[in-house]
Amino acid sequence: NRRYLGSKTKLISFLRNIIDNECGEYNSFFDVFGGTGVVSYSFNTPKVKIIINDLLKSNQIAYQTWLGTGAYDINKIKKYIYNFNNLPKIIEDNYVSINFGNSFFSYENALKIGYIREQIQSLELNNIINEREKAILLTSLLYAMDKVANTCGHYDAFRKKMDSKRKLTLQIPKINNENNFGNEIYNTDSNLLTEHIKADIVYIDPPYNSRQYGDAYHLLENIVTWEKPEVTGVAKKMVNRSNIKSKYCTVAAPTVFKELIDNLDCKYILVSYNNMGEKGAGRSQAKISDIEILEILKSKGEVKVFEQDYQFFTTGKSEISGHKERVFLCKVFTKNNLQKDIKKIINPTIIKSPLNYTGGKSKLLPQIKRFFPSNINTFYDVFTGGANVGINVEANKIICIDKQKILIELYKLFQQIDYPNLEKDIDSIISKYNLSKTSKYGYESYNCCSSKGLAQFNKSGYLQLREDFNNLLQKDNLNKNTLTLFFVLIIYSFNNQIRFNKNKLNIPVGKRDFNNSIRKKLKSFCETVKNKNISFKTQDFREIPLNSLNKNDFFYFDPPYLLATATYNENNGWSEQDELDLYYFIDNLNTLGIKFAFSNVLIHKNKKHFLLENWANSKNYKINFLNFHYNNSNYQKHKTDSESETLEVLITNF
């Protein structure tokens, strides 16, 4: 029972539920940033080894009291605490009364604190008490000081008016020593320690912001170390506090956090962090973003995110509403079964679309599919795009919907024509327009290499093909020949993209051609759409009738992203009104009891999609974080830090 910044006392049941439901049996628990030790204490049993660390010596002393394994004489402890509580009036000044009397403590309490600390020091030097007994007496003193300190819970400042006039009273710590089985206690840099520790569960609750704990609890450090240094400033802090400064309170926080995670040897990692974002004062804002935590943890294993409402400590100057404590749970890839674990995220049996459609979900699909129900009657793949999702789903019936008519007609062609005939038609067009065919002749025949690509060789034939196709398109002639021309254009276009401007395809020539990889994708895709009960429909989502839906029907939405810029979203191709109309449509599905999953980005290039977040939260929909980055273009420059700030989510109503 101690006042402490960021104490997790109120979150113990939340943490325990996560561990009980997600982690199974465990024999060791490593608390990297122990703080008061309340989390480790709650998990301390004879069957669980506790490993706890903190940069502050004053916290380590408390761990030795509550979690230590050293011997102690409880009768000796009782005797000295009784004597300390019944001291005659102290009149001689000491280090504490001179420096902290009538400021952090009343003058009388400061006199008593200084005297008791000297007595504990003398008992140790004369070998009357051992190390554990010293820790217990110091802990009793520190906790007693906390009860009478003239502060709001830390020592960055004291109250101008002496509010606390209670008498300093030490209590006897109630120690459950029978639970302390093989516990290890450390007082060192967390990043150095993690290189040498192995545990089943690692709990990480690092400093969130620029407020250094060494500054907040300098006075307790001073009392524990008892070196009586010179103090300075209004808050009377030790001049040299460099040894208790944490890098997690600086701009280096993301870097040192990644180093720590990389070094961990464990089965599960729990990271407790908050969602302050831009709330509160600058010093209160988190040093590590959600996306950085997710990106770092996902390299270590599979990640889930849990959150709970929580009252944030703001030094009494302001009130933060809507604050949530977040716990990131990472199930670590095991060394022996790494390939088995990775297959849960990257499934090699996925049928990939032959269209490299912007925003395609082939890489995210294994994660997305895990959220889908097992017994789906009709699966609606709305905004089907490359059809990566729809073609890989198991359902009684699949309907792939897109408002791009020529795209839907192309899929219908794939479904109707035999692949050998389709491939023959494609090769005929390639020969007619003198385009490259590396699947047969390789790159050398065209004086090209794979890195530089084939654009220089194919440009002339490609532009002629594009002109001929656009002329046919103006006549709205979507027959087999026009659709085959369209597919060849896509394959030879820049990054295989589709972009129309004033009803004309205007993408420039690209680096690749109809190579063996795309041939295999096309063949597999064509065979799958023939064998599945799948249909393709040109339709705007607003036109989908809701009156004939079945309770076991399921909708998947992958619309253009309002925050992103892509070929399908240029020239106001997707507006805020479109976004709101989609929310309204989805809400109607939810009212009917129809399940859905909705792909989008919550953060993109440091911008947050507040419209999306507010809508999802207002309807109590689930925001599920996806932990896989993808980049659709081979031509893009290396992403800068700001460009990589993209947080993919899947919103569901179940």
**pLDDT per residue over 237-252, tens digit each?**
887 777 788 888 888 8
Alpha-carbon distance of 597 to 650, in angstroms, equals: 6
Residue 638 has pLDDT above 50, yes or no: no
pLDDT band at residue 8 using 50, 70 and 90 as cut-offs: confident
Residue 488 has pLDDT above 80, yes or no: yes
Percentage of residues in the chain with pLDDT exceeding 70?
Answer: 88
Rg (C-alpha) for the chain, rounded Å, is 33
Q: Do residues 294 and 131 make contact, with C-beta atoms less than 8 angstroms apart?
A: no
Residue 162 has pLDDT above 90, yes or no: no
Least confident of 82-96, 146-160, 401-415, 455-469: 146-160
Distances (CA, A) of 445 to 48, 67, 433, 452, 509: 67, 73, 17, 14, 19
Q: Which residues contact 282 (CB under 8 A, 6 or more apart)?
A: 210
pLDDT of residue 642: 39
pLDDT in tens, 33-47: 999 999 999 999 999
Residue 641 has pLDDT above 50, yes or no: no
Mean pLDDT for the stretch of residues 532-552: 94
Identify which has the larger pLDDT, 501 or 486: 486
pLDDT of residue 336: 52
pLDDT of residue 644: 47
Alpha-carbon distance of 100 to 505, in angstroms, equals: 77
Alpha-carbon distance of 270 to 253, in angstroms, equals: 17
Percentage of residues in the chain with pLDDT exceeding 90?
Answer: 57
Of 523, 533, 538, the closest CA to residue 407 belongs to 538
Residue 167 has pLDDT above 90, yes or no: yes
Residue 383 has pLDDT above 80, yes or no: yes
Maximal C-alpha separation, the chain: 108
Identify which has the larger pLDDT, 82 or 149: 82
Pure H helices in 149-226: 190-193, 213-216, 218-225
The position carrying tokens 């209670």 is 166
Is residue 129 classed exposed, middle or buried when 0-12, 13-18 and 19+ CB atoms within 10 A define those classes? buried
pLDDT of residue 285: 59
pLDDT of residue 474: 84
Distances (CA, A) of 633 to 359, 367, 574, 636: 10, 21, 21, 6
* Three-class SS state of 352: coil
Identify which has the larger pLDDT, 137 or 6: 137
Identify which has the larger pLDDT, 333 or 383: 383
pLDDT band at residue 473 using 50, 70 and 90 as cut-offs: confident
Mean pLDDT for the stretch of residues 193-219: 86
Domains by residue range for the chain, with CATH? 1-56+180-210+250-343 (3.40.50.150), 345-403+539-654 (3.40.50.150), 419-527 (1.10.1020.10)
Residue 476 has pLDDT above 80, yes or no: no
pLDDT of residue 625: 81
pLDDT band at residue 181 using 50, 70 and 90 as cut-offs: confident
Is residue 436 classed exposed, middle or buried when 0-12, 13-18 and 19+ CB atoms within 10 A define those classes? buried
pLDDT band at residue 359 using 50, 70 and 90 as cut-offs: low
Alpha-carbon distance of 40 to 52, in angstroms, equals: 7
Identify which has the larger pLDDT, 632 or 53: 53
Mean pLDDT for the stretch of residues 133-146: 96
The position carrying tokens 């294994």 is 366
CA 593 distance to own-chain centroid = 30
Q: Do residues 28 and 48 make contact, with C-beta atoms less than 8 angstroms apart?
A: yes
Ranges 52-61, 493-502, 563-572, most confident: 52-61
pLDDT of residue 273: 79
The pTM of this model reads: 0.57
pLDDT of residue 445: 84
pLDDT of residue 324: 66
Alpha-carbon distance of 371 to 603, in angstroms, equals: 21
pLDDT in tens, 258-286: 999 999 999 999 999 765 544 444 444 56
Of 498, 454, 458, the closest CA to residue 356 belongs to 498
Of 345, 283, 355, the closest CA to residue 567 belongs to 355
pLDDT in tens, 548-585: 899 999 999 999 988 865 444 444 578 999 999 999 99
Of 181, 145, 174, 184, the closest CA to residue 54 belongs to 184
pLDDT of residue 97: 94
Residue 311 has pLDDT above 80, yes or no: no
Residue 329's beta-bridge partner residues? 270, 304
Is residue 548 classed exposed, middle or buried when 0-12, 13-18 and 19+ CB atoms within 10 A define those classes? exposed
pLDDT of residue 378: 97
pLDDT band at residue 122 using 50, 70 and 90 as cut-offs: very high
pLDDT band at residue 347 using 50, 70 and 90 as cut-offs: very low
Average pLDDT, the chain: 85
End-to-end CA distance of the chain: 39
Q: Which two tokens stand for residue 127?
A: 């070998």
